[in-house]
């Protein structure tokens, strides 16, 4: 095998006998030709290869080896395929075998692995070299590196593709723009417009057959500036642009124009001149944006905000004297104060209604209050059309044929919508009321007044007298905001009113308490003296009777008198106790209860009181428990020291115990317990009496309160309902507290606590 492939043989044909001189000449030509061929192969950057007629490599290809790094042995046969990219091998073999079979040209593109492992793409061509008889002797071919060319081609294709795409995108954007775009030359001739501009031009001159310039169109539009002044021709946007001016999208470049249809629009114009290489203006691009709706919305929002501000100011301006009525006025003449408060409330809600009318620029506003429990609707105020509020409320009442109650006036769906802060729409004065969606038309809307998700009222807003109005999302949001603000104003003002009322009541109560105390104190003093005299006289009479020297018969006859005197004595005792209670209660109330608090053993006070009462109520079983253990005579537990007025605390225990005896069955035991808690002592008196429902448990501490239906046992005297009130006053003045735990039918446990005396000698509480 020669190092370089041999030249292809001469074209097939007949053999010519050669003359001796001729043969030497031919040999010389052949040698030169081979040399030229070698130089050519060496000079070319391509890979040159030779394969036999069967397509197998037998001869060396230094250029292939140099490029791939394969050895001569490795390229033999089909070994060269190993340097071809694995993915390209099947295709290569297929095309190669087809060429071998057909004897035609072999052309294919595949990737060859360079000696350093990098694959590059080659364009491979092979031609058959034929014998004189036409049979294939061998194949000669070249591999040309086309990697860079291919990349360049790919890039070119990609760039062309992107450029087209971009142009299409720009075209689509241009057409899809909602702003109208006009491109015109320096004579004002229109060179291009987008769809929005086409629509605009059609509205200006629909049937114009002739070519019109930009200025021809503008001349028909009665152009004015943003303030409404006519716009001189030199100020037309086309003129300014062609003079080289750049127009920015600002309110200053807004134009007002009137279309031939009479419709007025506000257009914001921006644009820029187009210049040639030398900088001369050769045309311009102008963009027009219809800002009519935006401008109107901005103006309305501005007005609404101004009025909202006024609404908020109204909230701040609520008269102070409504919040704080002067004490003498509230105390001495609460009716008058109440009347003027109501008057002020009335004025404020009416002012609110008027402001809302102004904020929403509407025909009529009615504010309805929703009573918390009955859910009855009541007209608070209205503005605009006089009487429309009443008419509407009347319609509401009519629709539920009774009093206007929320759930009867509206459908459940409408009520749910209101509670979810949604608006309702009403198509006519008497049309049905349904939740409203953005963009729907209604004659009136009803907005909920919500505070903390609580519905406290409704506002009905009617935009125009007979027209339906289309509600945009912004308008609906403003209505909801106004309703919320109105809810705040009315609630704030209602609370102020309530506070003023409460203060007036409190002052009146204090005053009547003072008078009652005065009366009680006088009355009990007045009664005490005659009662003492009566009691003394009765006792004197009884003693006299006993001492009289009477016969048994006379004594028997006088027994009835003795009996009467005894009963009078008991009754007088009872009356004396009642009078004492009266006096104590008035004293406690006016803070004149004299108490001398000193360190005392609470255990001793309670023990003494229990023992006193046990001696008078001998049939009752009264147990004394200390820390849960029954206390016997011989036991002497550790003292429980408190700072107390022993007599007053004794009175508290007596009252609790007397009640327990009085209100529980004779055969049932009564437990008195004393317990030491963390920093206080607790005394409880437990009985098995009728017990008390929770509402009564709160009221029994009030003065003169007696639970209806609870009867004293046997001959026990009914009280005045003062005992527990006195107990509470005494204990609270000892920094302690009182209470009862009870259930109807299961007895009661009345208790009080006192702060324990600490080592420092102070009450722990």
Interacting residues with ligand ADP (CB under 6 A): 655, 659-660, 663, 687, 689-690, 692, 700, 706-707, 710, 719-725, 748
Alpha carbons 551 and 542: distance in angstroms, whole number: 17
* Distance in Å, CB of 530 to ligand ADP, minimum: 22
- 598 vs 621 by CB, closer to ligand ADP: 621
Of 725 and 734, CB closest to ligand ADP: 725
The least distance separating ligand ADP from the CB of residue 604, rounded to whole angstroms, comes to 24
CB of 751 to ligand ADP, least distance (A): 12
For the bound state, the minimum distance from the C-beta of residue 721 to ligand ADP, rounded and expressed in Å, comes to 4
* C-alpha closest to that of 676 among 635, 727, 641, 728: 641
Q: E strands, 81-226, where?
A: 106-113, 119-130, 136-145, 180-185, 190-193, 224-225
Write down the least CB distance from residue 532 to ligand ADP, Å: 22
DSSP string, 329-342: HHHH-HHHHHHHHH
Nearer Cβ to ligand ADP, position 409 or 722? 722
In degrees rounded to 5, what are phi and psi of residue 116? -95, 10
CA 489 to chain centre: 21
| Least separation in angstroms between CB 629 and ligand ADP | 24
Q: How far apart are CA 50 and CA 506, in angstroms?
A: 122
Identify which of residues 740 and 754 has a Cβ nearer to ligand ADP in the complex: 740
CB of 398 to ligand ADP, least distance (A): 51
Minimum CB separation from ligand ADP for residue 713, in Å?
10
Closest separation in Å from C-beta 717 to ligand ADP: 8
Name the residue with the smallest CB distance to ligand ADP: 719
Shortest CB 583 distance to ligand ADP, Å = 14
Nearer to ligand ADP, 599 or 693 (CB): 693
Closer Cβ to ligand ADP, 492 or 580, answer by number: 580
Query: How many of the other CB atoms lie within 10 Å of CB of 49?
Result: 21
C-alpha angle with apex 722: 720 to 724, nearest 5 degrees? 130
Q: How many helices (H) and strands (E) does the chain have?
A: 21, 26
CA Rg value for the chain = 58
Judge whether 120 and 114 are in contact, CB under 8 Å. Answer: yes
Inter-CA distances, 763 with 32, 189, 450, 614, Å: 136, 104, 50, 30
Residue 756: exposure state from Cβ atoms within 10 A (0-12, 13-18, ≥19): buried
Taking the complex as a whole, the smallest distance from the CB of residue 517 to ligand ADP amounts, in Å, to 17
Q: Residue 170: count other Cβ atoms within 10 Å of its Cβ.
A: 10
Structure tokens at 196: 């929005």
Q: What is the DSSP code string of 658-708? A: HHHHHHS-TTS-EEEEEEE-SSEEEEEEEE-S----HHHHHHTTSTT---T
Distance CA 489, CA 493 (A): 6
Token pair 């603000």 in the structure block, residue:
485
Nearest to ligand ADP of 268, 748 (CB atom): 748
**Cβ(233)–Cβ(218) below 8 Å:** no
CB 652 within 8 A of CB 681: no
Among residues 462 and 748, whose Cβ is nearest to ligand ADP? Answer: 748
> For residues 270 and 684, which CB has a smaller minimum distance to ligand ADP in the complex?
684
Rank residues 521 and 658 by Cβ distance to ligand ADP and give the closer one: 658
Cα angle vertex 427, ends 421, 430, to 5°? Answer: 100
Q: Report the nearest approach of ligand ADP to the CB of residue 526 (Å).
A: 21
Would you say 194 or 655 has its CB closer to ligand ADP? 655
Residue among 500 and 652 whose Cβ is closer to ligand ADP? 652
Strands annotated E in 220-376? 224-225, 254-258, 264-275, 281-290, 364-370
């Amino acid at each position: 095998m020669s190092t370089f492939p041999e030249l292809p043989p001469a074209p097939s044909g007949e053999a010519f006998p050669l003359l001796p001189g001729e043969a030497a000449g031919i040999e010389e030509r052949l040698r030169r030709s081979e040399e030229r061929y070698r130089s050519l192969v060496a000079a070319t950057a391509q890979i040159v290869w030779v394969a036999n007629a069967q397509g197998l490599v037998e001869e060396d290809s230094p250029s292939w080896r140099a490029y791939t790094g394969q050895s001569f042995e490795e390229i033999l046969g089909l070994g060269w395929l190993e340097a071809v990219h694995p993915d390209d091998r099947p295709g290569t073999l297929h095309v190669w075998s087809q060429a071998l079979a057909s004897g035609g040209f072999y052309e294919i593109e595949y990737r060859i692995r360079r000696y350093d492992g990098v694959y590059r793409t080659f364009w491979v061509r092979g031609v058959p070299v034929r014998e004189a008889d036409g049979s294939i002797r061998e194949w000669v071919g070249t591999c040309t590196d086309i990697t860079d060319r291919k990349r360049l081609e790919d890039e070119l294709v990609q760039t062309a593709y992107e450029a087209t795409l971009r142009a299409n995108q720009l075209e689509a954007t241009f057409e899809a723009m909602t702003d109208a775009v006009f491109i015109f030359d320096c004579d004002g001739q229109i060179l291009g417009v987008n769809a929005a501009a086409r629509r605009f031009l059609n509205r200006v001159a629909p049937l114009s057959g002739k070519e019109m310039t930009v200025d021809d169109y503008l001349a028909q539009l009665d152009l004015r500036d943003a303030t409404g002044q006519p716009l001189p021709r030199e100020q037309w946007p086309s003129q300014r642009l062609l003079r080289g001016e750049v127009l920015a999208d600002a309110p200053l470049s807004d134009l007002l124009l009137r279309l031939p249809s009479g419709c007025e629009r506000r257009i914001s114009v921006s644009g820029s001149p187009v210049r040639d290489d030398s900088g001369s203006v050769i045309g311009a691009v102008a963009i027009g944006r219809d800002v009519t709706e935006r401008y109107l919305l901005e103006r309305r929002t501005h007005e609404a905000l101004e009025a909202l501000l006024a609404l908020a100011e109204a909230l701040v301006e609520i008269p102070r004297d409504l919040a704080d009525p002067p004490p003498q006025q509230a105390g001495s003449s609460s009716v008058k104060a109440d009347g003027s408060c109501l008057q002020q409330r009335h004025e404020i809600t009416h002012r609110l209604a008027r402001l809302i009318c102004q904020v929403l620029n509407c025909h009529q506003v009615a504010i309805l209050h929703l009573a918390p429990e009955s859910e009855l609707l009541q007209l608070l105020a209205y503005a605009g059309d006089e009487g429309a509020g009443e008419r509407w409320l009347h319609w509401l009442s009519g629709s539920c044929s009774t009093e206007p109650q929320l759930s009867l006036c509206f459908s459940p769906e409408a009520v749910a919508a209101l509670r979810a802060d949604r608006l309702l729409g009403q198509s006519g004065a008497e049309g049905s009321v349904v939740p409203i969606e953005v963009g729907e038309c209604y004659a009136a809307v009803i907005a909920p007044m919500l505070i903390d998700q609580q519905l406290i009222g409704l506002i009905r807003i009617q935009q125009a007298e007979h027209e339906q109005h289309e509600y945009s999302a912004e308008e609906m949001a403003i209505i909801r905001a106004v309703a919320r603000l109105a809810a705040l104003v009315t609630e704030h003002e209602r609370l102020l009113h309530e506070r003023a009322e409460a203060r007036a009541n409190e002052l009146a109560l204090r005053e009547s308490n003072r008078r009652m105390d005065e009366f009680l104190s006088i009355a009990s003093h007045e009664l005490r003296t005659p009662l003492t005299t009566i009691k003394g006289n009765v006792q004197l009479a009884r003693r006299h009777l006993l001492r009289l020297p009477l016969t048994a018969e006379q004594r028997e006859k006088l027994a009835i008198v003795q009996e009467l005197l005894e009963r009078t004595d008991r009754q007088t005792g009872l009356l004396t106790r009642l009078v004492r209670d009266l006096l104590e209660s008035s004293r406690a109330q006016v803070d004149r209860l004299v108490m001398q608090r000193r360190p005392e053993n609470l255990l001793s006070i309670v023990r003494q009181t229990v023992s006193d009462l046990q001696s008078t109520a001998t049939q009752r079983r009264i147990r004394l428990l200390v820390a849960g253990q029954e206390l016997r005579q011989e036991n002497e537990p550790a003292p429980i020291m408190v700072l107390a007025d022993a007599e007053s605390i004794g009175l508290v225990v007596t009252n609790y115990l007397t009640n327990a005896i009085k209100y529980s069955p004779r055969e049932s035991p009564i437990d008195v317990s004393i317990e030491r808690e963390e920093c206080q002592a607790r005394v409880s008196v437990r009985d098995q009496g009728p017990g008390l429902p929770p509402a009564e448990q709160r009221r029994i501490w009030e003065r003169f309160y007696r639970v209806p239906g609870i009867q004293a046992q046997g001959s026990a005297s009914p009280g005045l309902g003062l005992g527990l009130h006195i107990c509470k006053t005494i204990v609270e003045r000892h920094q302690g507290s009182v209470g009862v735990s009870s259930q109807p039918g299961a007895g009661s446990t009345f208790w009080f606590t006192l702060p324990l005396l600490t080592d420092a000698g102070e009450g722990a509480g």
